[in-house]
Chain A
Amino acid sequence: MSSTTEVTPSGATGRGSSPRGKGGDTRPASNPGAGASRRRQGLAAWTLALPFCLLFLVFTAWPVIQSLFMSFTDTRSRDLRTPFAVDIVGLDNFTKAFSDPIFRKSMLNTAYFVVVGVPLTMAMALAAAVALDKGITKLRGLFRLGFYTPVITSIVAVAVVWRFLLERDYGLINTVLGWVGIDGPNWLGDPNWAMPGLILMASWRNFGTGMIIFLAGLQAVPWMLHEAAAIDGAGAWQRFRHITLPLLRPTLLFVSVTTAIGYLQFFEEPFVMTNGGPLNSTISMSMYTYKQFGFGNYGLASAMSYIIFVIVAIVTAIQFRLLRENT
């Protein structure tokens, strides 16, 4: 075996020239020279990939493995200095998480947030995209910017504004409700209304991303199909329902998957608006996990993180199944 310093440059050249040499390469490895050169190439490839592999192993794979390990142990914050001097407790952390009433409550809250929030966000995004695509012709750029601005605005600034909007006595939302004779609820102070308040805010904040993607999808819908259908007497709604929506299916899948993954891990909204209250009505799984990390229960918190991970994976798989192409 030759030294690496010698191999690297020649290996690198060999790799670079390989597409050209492909035709002349004898496939069967009976030729000893070809075998040696392939080994050299393989070594060179590994050498080049080594920095990435090391970084990946140290900073991505290792934390994942360690957190997985932690979820099966009774690690607490005081064990950080000796991360392996802990007791393995098997699935205790997982049973503890599922038997914790607040964690179960947080699972229900998260489900509520996703089940209501994802369709609402997608409906708003699609409506805005269709309006920008067909309806709004003047100042289109301005509207596009306006709809997208909430996405790039800091949640902290958004929270301040929304706290005013959702204020019980003089908030804008309740004032408008008052005009039509509705006595608005105490949004963030009432356990039944805090979650709808947060869903409203999250949908408003996130629909811009979906809108941009839908807009791209809409522009890929061939105009001919609409024209042909119109000639056959299809109305606007029928054309939208039977031409636009089916062609948008891959886009819908993408937006629903990304939105659902984001919403399953929702954290910032309750963190800045309600701190999980009132009466834990807005505490999410991520937020409760964060709290457990804060209390120093690293084992339990890691187990909760993996529960969230598994739920995200399952929900995503279901979405792929429901929205896949019909063949």
Chain B
Amino acid sequence: MRRTSAAAVATLTAAALALSACGRDNGGGAGSSETAKDISSGKATGTLTVWAMGNEGDILPDLMKDFEAANPGVKVNVTAIPWDSAHDKFTTAITAGTTPDAAMVGSTWMGEFAGLDALDPVPPSIDTSAYFEGAQKTNEVNGTNYGVPWYVETRLIFYRTDLAKKAGVTEAPKDWEGLKSMAKAMQDKAGAKFGMGFQAGGQGSWQSIMPFAWSDGAKLTKDDGKAYNFDSPEMLEAVKYYQSYFTDGISDKAAPAQPTTEPDFKSGRVPMFISGPWMMSAVEKVGVKKDQYDVMPVPAKTTSSSFVGGSNFAVFKKSKNRDSAWKLVQWLSDPKVQAKWYGMSTDLPSVKSAWDDPALSGDPKLKKFGTALETAQAPPSFPTWEQAVAGFDTEMEKVTKQGADPAAALKSAQQQAESVGTGQ
């Protein structure tokens, strides 16, 4: 009995202590901009731990051999992490203070990790204007750069040239109306079941819708980049346009949850869709010949623009070998290394001058991706972006599948985003 009460007192005391320590510490923290100190000159030394996800994690060790050869005395240990568990692994490591020296970081995670005070600001000797502007922007949190783009991707419209000819279209359309009539002609004259393979809302559909909104000059933030902006008139125009494909039966309202884009493209059932550069090898694998299809930029309402994605490279504050880690990032941004990495991974270079390499400039389809990257845009680097856009994706599903009013849907998306807040 005595023991029990003693234990109870101890528990209560511990709980009281824990509770009295509660409450947010409101001073300082993320939000103010940081200035970075520069890195030392000379070669990289010591041991570096690097994390990378997916396919990049598997083949990065091969590239690191070149880095080690160029910098005798450095040893790079690459840890490959599956994409599914990567985000959790990073947040756990940041909490426990066991982050790697440098890592590949998903472009939508920058705001969150920088908010956790985990990333080291980019030193001044790295020239951030060498990268595509849209991709570089994903590294900027509250006016400070916390990383550099490593590789990029953007979305273009894929179409079957042979079927387009049958439909009487010989030149890629330049405006929204032209694109829609081309998709309609594919249905009417070239035997397509659906003219355009737009995603009918749902997760990730913003990546198909935003290129149109951006091509109309839409901005996703307002109030000096301090708030979400989903219900601008430009967004409304883009969403109405996107919806018209579904109401006119040009796109499939009831597409299966698992898209069958490649076989549908091959059979001509759906001869147009919007996607990224990896689809080139994917459609060629199912038997679409290189001269049977082409890509075109997103037609402009005002100026053509698309979505830029990809991954960044960042150095962590906890790194014991910071200077060498930045030297690695600098080396990875070298145009020659970027071109070589394209050859190994088919990841598109984030450094503009790397596109002069014949492997890239010699391919007319790739060149169009390169051109699109110059104007492509990325979503804001708010830590809550994924959650805010999930509401937008759900609303878009109502717009495409149930014919919901676009204005009301955008209003609801905006309300949801505002209740989530930017998280900064």
Which A residues lie within 8 Å of B383 (CB)?
Answer: 78, 296
Give Cα A274 to B397, complex, Å: 14
A87 pairs with B24, CB closer than 8 A: yes
**Chain A residues numbered 33-87 whose CB sits less than 8 Å from any CB in chain B:** 73, 76-78, 80-82, 84-87
The verdict on B292 contacting chain A, using a C-beta distance below 8 Å, is: no
The verdict on B34 contacting chain A, using a C-beta distance below 8 Å, is: no
Which B residues lie within 8 Å of A274 (CB)?
Answer: 257
Which residue of chain A lies nearest to B384 when distances are taken between CB atoms in the complex?
A295
Which residue of chain A lies nearest to B113 when distances are taken between CB atoms in the complex?
A78
The verdict on A145 contacting chain B, using a C-beta distance below 8 Å, is: no
A163 pairs with B258, CB closer than 8 A: yes
Give the number of A-B contacts (CB < 8 Å): 83
**Chain B residues numbered 369-407 whose CB sits less than 8 Å from any CB in chain A:** 383-384, 386-387, 390, 394, 397-398, 401-402
The verdict on A224 contacting chain B, using a C-beta distance below 8 Å, is: no
The verdict on B1 contacting chain A, using a C-beta distance below 8 Å, is: no
Which residue of chain A lies nearest to B91 when distances are taken between CB atoms in the complex?
A77
Which A residues lie within 8 Å of B397 (CB)?
Answer: 277-279
> Which secondary structure dominates chain A's binding surface?
loop
Give Cα A316 to B316, complex, Å: 49
The verdict on B6 contacting chain A, using a C-beta distance below 8 Å, is: no
Which A residues lie within 8 Å of B402 (CB)?
Answer: 279
Q: Which range holds the interface residue count of chain A?
A: 20 to 34
Q: A81-B95, A86-B22 are in contact. Are A295 and B386 (CB under 8 A)?
A: yes
Binds B, one of A185-193, A237-245, A254-262: A185-193
The verdict on B69 contacting chain A, using a C-beta distance below 8 Å, is: no
The verdict on B203 contacting chain A, using a C-beta distance below 8 Å, is: yes
Which of B22, B87, B203, B398 meets A85, CB within 8 Å? B22
B22 pairs with A87, CB closer than 8 A: yes
Give Cα A277 to B258, complex, Å: 11
Q: Which range holds the interface residue count of chain B?
A: 20 to 34
A78 pairs with B112, CB closer than 8 A: yes
B202 pairs with A278, CB closer than 8 A: yes
A278 pairs with B18, CB closer than 8 A: no
**Chain A residues numbered 183-203 whose CB sits less than 8 Å from any CB in chain B:** 186, 188-191
A78 pairs with B401, CB closer than 8 A: no
The verdict on B358 contacting chain A, using a C-beta distance below 8 Å, is: no
B23 pairs with A85, CB closer than 8 A: yes
Which residue of chain B lies nearest to A188 when distances are taken between CB atoms in the complex?
B257
Give Cα A43 to B132, complex, Å: 70
Which residue of chain A lies nearest to B387 when distances are taken between CB atoms in the complex?
A295
Known A76-B423, A81-B94, A277-B202; 18 more pairs at CB < 8 Å: A77-B112, A78-B116, A78-B383, A80-B95, A82-B25, A84-B19, A84-B21, A85-B24, A85-B25, A163-B258, A275-B202, A275-B257, A278-B202, A278-B257, A279-B398, A291-B390, A294-B87, A296-B384
Chain A residues within CB distance 8 Å of chain B? 73, 76-78, 80-82, 84-88, 102, 163, 167-168, 186, 188-191, 273-275, 277-280, 291, 294-297
